Structure 1
Amino acid sequence: METLYRTDAPTRAEIDALPGAVLLEFGANWCGHCMAAQPPLAEAFAGHGAVTHIKVEDGPGRPLGRSFRVKLWPTLIFLRDGQEVERLVRPLAAAPIADALARIEAPPP
């Protein structure tokens, strides 16, 4: 699990091309809501080591966040083979995060 938001965001094309299960997290290192989400995120992430976790610093003029229409932080976008499967905004409990992680790890229907 990533611990800090990266300022060097990948491009949308790079994200769309990622294989497998990916958790894309938008926020900022100084954001109180983002900090509050970290303990439930860490709890939910336990046992999901196969999921690639990418934390991206978001804000005005950041094209990746705009391409996903991110409005509030943190926003968690759960992807399977580059396609959005689910999205959680400002999660404060581990269970919904763990459920979404399980869905992106499961084989597609």
Structure 2
Amino acid sequence: MTTEYARTEPPRADIDDLAGPTVVEFGTDWCGFCRAAQPLIAQAFQEHPGVRHLKIEDGSGRPLGRSFRVKLWPTLVFMLDGKEVARLVRPQDTSEVRDALALIDKPLSR
């Protein structure tokens, strides 16, 4: 799991070309909702170490966030081979994140 929001965003075409499971998370370091969601996200990712996690700093006029129609933070877009499979906005518990991750990746067996 990535812990810092990237200030430089990749082009949308690069995201769409990614192979395998990917979660694109939009938010900011100063967002209270984003900070509150981090432990939930981290816990869910423990069972999915092979999932690529891109944390992108978002804001007004940022093209990547607008291309995904992000309105609230954090927004997590769950993708498989460049296609959106699920989306969570301001997740409230680990099970929401875990369920969405399971749609794009098999969890580690316990």
Percentage identity across aligned positions? 58
**TM-score of the aligned structures, taking structure 2 as reference length:** 0.94
**TM-score of the aligned structures, taking structure 1 as reference length:** 0.95
Q: State the partner residue of 2:62.
A: 62
Deviation at 1:61, TM superposition (A): 1.3
Deviation at 1:102, TM superposition (A): 0.9
Considering only aligned residues, what root-mean-square deviation do their CA atoms show, in Å?
0.7
Counterpart Cα distance in 2 of 1:10 and 1:22: 14
Q: State the partner residue of 2:53.
A: 53
Q: Which whole-Å deviations, capped at 9, do the CAs of 1:50-94 have from their partners, x for residues lacking one?
A: 100000000011000000000000000000000000000000200
- Equivalent residue runs for 1:65-76 within 5 Å: 65-76=65-76
Following TM superposition, the consecutive aligned residue runs of length 4 or more in structure 1 with deviations greater than 6 angstroms are none
Q: State the partner residue of 2:19.
A: 19
Counterpart Cα distance in 1 of 2:69 and 2:89: 12
Q: State the partner residue of 1:38.
A: 38
Q: Which whole-Å deviations, capped at 9, do the CAs of 1:35-60 have from their partners, x for residues lacking one?
A: 00001001111120110000000001
Q: State the partner residue of 1:105.
A: 105
Aligned letter for 1:29? D
SS of corresponding position for 2:60: coil
Counterpart Cα distance in 2 of 1:7 and 1:38: 18
Counterpart Cα distance in 2 of 1:96 and 1:76: 11
Aligned letter for 2:16? D
Unmatched 5+ residue regions in structure 1? none
| Number of positions where the alignment pairs a residue of Structure 1 with one of Structure 2 | 106
SS of corresponding position for 2:30: coil
Q: State the partner residue of 2:7.
A: 7
Q: State the partner residue of 1:94.
A: 94
Unmatched 5+ residue regions in structure 2? none
Counterpart Cα distance in 2 of 1:63 and 1:101: 25
Counterpart Cα distance in 2 of 1:45 and 1:95: 11
